[in-house]
Structures are given as C-alpha cells and as structure tokens.
Amino acid sequence: MTDIAPHDHKHHVPSPYTVFALLLLLLLATVGVAYIDLGVFGLPVALGIAITKAGLILAYFMHLVHEKSLVRVFAFAGFASLAILLIILLADVNARHKGEAALRSPADSVCRLNEVNDLGAG
C-alpha cells in the first residue's frame, strides 16, 4: 500500500506551470487595476482578484480539488469563521458614525445620561 493522496483520474489535472502563469497574470491585473480609478469598485475588484488567486492556490497547489470532501470541509471551516468575524465586526463599525467618534464605547452615551439626571437631584 502506498501513502499517497487518492487520485481522481477522470478530472483533467492542470499543470502547475499553467496555474503559475494564471497567478502571474492575476498579479499583473492586481497592480494594473490599482492605478485605474474605479471609485467605489476599487476595493471589491482588488479583493475579487485576490480571492481568485487564493482560490487557485487552494484548489490546485494545495490539492483541494483532488482531496476527499472532509478535507474541503476543514479548509472551508477556517474561512467561514473568518467571514463571521468580519461580517459582524464591519456591520457594527458601519452602524456607527464615521470619524473620530466611530469607535468610541457606548459607555460614553451612558455618562451623558447621568449628567442629565443630576439636574433634578438637588
């Protein structure tokens, strides 16, 4: 018995050089796109290209397409957890006002309420 990964011979296996060439093309795109003013689409496009590069590395260099599904579940779990972190954090930041006050604690608002109560105290 040999200690090697299960091979799916039905699927066409791209050569690592092909994947590498694609990665270099995407790197060219990454730098090129950065110098074009896409306005609000700049960040999503840059991230989209980065995710495509990462996807190619994960799928072909890290063999996820050839591995058992359970391995893909483990890989996905890490990124799913990160997605939860980012979504909840960014939703929170986005719901506050922009600028210096954006990351202040809610306790600041509570303090102000206490000041108002003092007016009726004595």
Partner 1 sequence: MSSATRPDEEHPGFLAHHFDDPAQQREAATLGMWAFLATEVLFFGGLFAGYAAYRFVYPDAWIEGSRHLNVPLGTVNTTVLLTSSLTVVLAIQAVQRSDRRQLVRWLLATIALAVVFVAIKSWEYSMKFEEGLVPGSGFQLPHAFNSEVSVSQVQLFFGFYFVMTGLHAFHMLIGIILLAVYARLAARGRFNEHYYTPIENIGLYWHFVDVVWVFLFPLLYLIAP
Residue ranges that bind partner 1, judged by CB under 8 A: 1-6, 16-17, 20, 23-24, 27, 30-31, 34-35, 42, 46-47, 49-50, 53-54, 57-58, 61-62, 67-68, 70-71, 74-75, 77-79, 81-82, 85-86, 89-90, 93-94, 98-99, 102-103
| Rounded CA Rg of the chain | 24
Shortest Cβ 65–partner 1 spacing (Å): 13
Phi/psi-derived region of residue 12, left when phi > 0, alpha when psi is between -120 and 50, beta in every other case: beta
Least distance CB 21 / partner 1 (angstroms)? 10
Instruction: Please give the Cα distance from 75 to 55 (Å, whole number).
Output: 12
- Whichever of 31 and 107 has its CB closer to partner 1, that residue is 31
Q: In angstroms, rounded to a whole number, what is the distance separating the alpha carbons of residues 38 and 44?
A: 10
Q: How far is the CB of 41 from partner 1 (least distance, A)?
A: 13
Structural contact between residues 23 and 56, judged by C-beta atoms closer than 8 angstroms? yes
Six token digits for residue 24: 């270099």
| Least distance from partner 1 to the Cβ atom of residue 76, Å | 9
